[in-house]
Every structure is written in structure tokens, then in C-alpha cells.
Amino acid sequence: MIEIDKLCVGYENKKVIDNLSLNIKSGDYICVVGPNGAGKSTFVKALVGLKKEMSGKITLKKNLKRNEIGYLPQIKKIQDNFPASVYEIVLSGCLNKLSIKPFYSKKDKEKAIETLKKLNILNLKDKCYTELSGGQQQKVMLARALCASDKIIVLDEPVTGLDPTSTSDLYKKISELNKKDGLTVIMVTHDVETSLEYATHILNINGKNTFFSTISDYLHNNTCECVESEAFNDTNI
């Protein structure tokens, strides 16, 4: 689905990722791990078009368009008086596909309802987003990303700040979407243990030790020493 060739990205002419090459295939579940500041969020921002490459190239394949990549960024505090309902937020995931149309179509609205049902949160449809628990809010944002794309989603540390039960529930739902619906998943996480349980591939971004491998190769070659201890200790469970 995506071909990455000798990618270099960074800030203010300072490289944080250099010469990264890999292919992302349909149905992959890729966990992006590594220490803080290594460039994990920078990498996914480049994938979704929020960060320009310094050099190298990201090529979308199989007629995949940039606006067909669902994106769930890191959690940010929303004002307590933010008035949007759950349904309005989920429906807004269709915005990128509106083009010059000023209104949501019937198909867009049906997609939002179907996605709420799929994540078992239809009962939250008319509730104010800020009244929800952290786990419920992240399911809403996941639903929004799924409205943007049923092909591929990119998630940047989606379980940060969640309690253990909500964390486990969200991980299981993402895995279900990957296995049952064939959704391609790219997820930034510090939780390497869970990555090994659910993912098909590991992308470790850590300076010169950056590597990409299947989970089986990762375990077989005992490459865990390439991931700094912080990646193992800074978990969310």
C-alpha cells in the first residue's frame, strides 16, 4: 500500500530519521517503537502528509489517496465546554472526502452510524464528547479515523493516559479490525509487550539501530537489545 524509499525527515534541517526504507502491505499491523524523541511521531506525520520529507520518497500504491488514510493523533486536552456530540465528531471523519461539497451525504451519515455500531458505542451517539471517560473518548476518535478510511489507519500512542481496562479493550478492538476487516494498522506505542502480542511487524526507530522486521524474525533473532530499555519500561499497562 505504501512504499517508503530512503526517507529522511526532521525539523529545522535537523534529521531525526535518515535513510529509512520499507514497504507497508495491505493487512499489516505495524507497531512503531523506540525511545522518546527518536522520531516516531515525526514518521507518522510524514505518512499522513503533515510533515514534508527532507529527502527520499513516500509513494502511495493501489490507488490509495492521502485522504484515505485515517489518523488518530496523540491525545490532547479538549476544553470542558467543547459542544460537539459524539455523532458530530465521528461524522467529521468524512470531511476530507467532501471535496467541494458543502454538506455531508446520506452515505457519510450512514457510515458514521455503522462505525459507531462496529465499536459498540452507538449508545453514546448524542452525548457530549467532553462528558465521556478517557476510554470512551478514544473509541470515538478511533471511529472518526475509521470514517476517514476503511483501508488504513495511523494511530499515535492511542492508549496514553487510559486505565488498564480501557487500554486492553482498545487494543483488542484494533486487533479485531485488523484481523476481521483487513484494516492496515500503523501504531506508535511504547508498549513493546503488547506489540509482540498483536502486531505483524515491528518498526524500531532509534538512530542508527533503526530496523523493520516481522514479529517472528524479531523474536527469532533476539533483537530486543536494539530497543532501548525505555521502550520496555514506559508502558501503559
* Residue where a domain stops, chosen among 150, 171, 192: 150
> Please, which pLDDT band fits residue 207 given cuts at 50, 70 and 90?
confident
Q: Do 230 and 180 share a structural domain?
A: yes
User: Who wins on pLDDT, 234 or 72?
Assistant: 72
User: Who wins on pLDDT, 170 or 99?
Assistant: 170
d(C-alpha 116, C-alpha 120), whole Å: 6
Q: Do 218 and 181 share a structural domain?
A: yes
Range of the domain at 46: 23-52+151-237
d(C-alpha 147, C-alpha 151), whole Å: 10
Q: Do 217 and 180 share a structural domain?
A: yes
Q: Do 236 and 158 share a structural domain?
A: yes
Task: Indicate which CATH number applies to the domain containing 178.
Answer: 3.40.50.300
d(C-alpha 36, C-alpha 127), whole Å: 35
Q: Do 165 and 115 share a structural domain?
A: no
- Kindly report, residue by residue over 22-71, the tens digit of the pLDDT: 999 999 999 998 888 888 888 999 999 888 989 999 999 878 888 889 99
pTM for this predicted structure: 0.84
**Mean pLDDT calculated for residue range 117-125:** 92
Predicted confidence at residue 222, as pLDDT, reads 53
What is the count of structural domains for the chain? 2
> Please, which pLDDT band fits residue 98 given cuts at 50, 70 and 90?
low
Q: Do 168 and 146 share a structural domain?
A: no
**Mean pLDDT calculated for residue range 193-199:** 86
> Please, which pLDDT band fits residue 219 given cuts at 50, 70 and 90?
confident
Q: Do 144 and 155 share a structural domain?
A: no
Predicted confidence at residue 121, as pLDDT, reads 93
d(C-alpha 236, C-alpha 65), whole Å: 32
Beta strands in the chain (DSSP E): 2-11, 14-24, 29-33, 55-60, 69-72, 152-156, 184-188, 201-204, 211-214
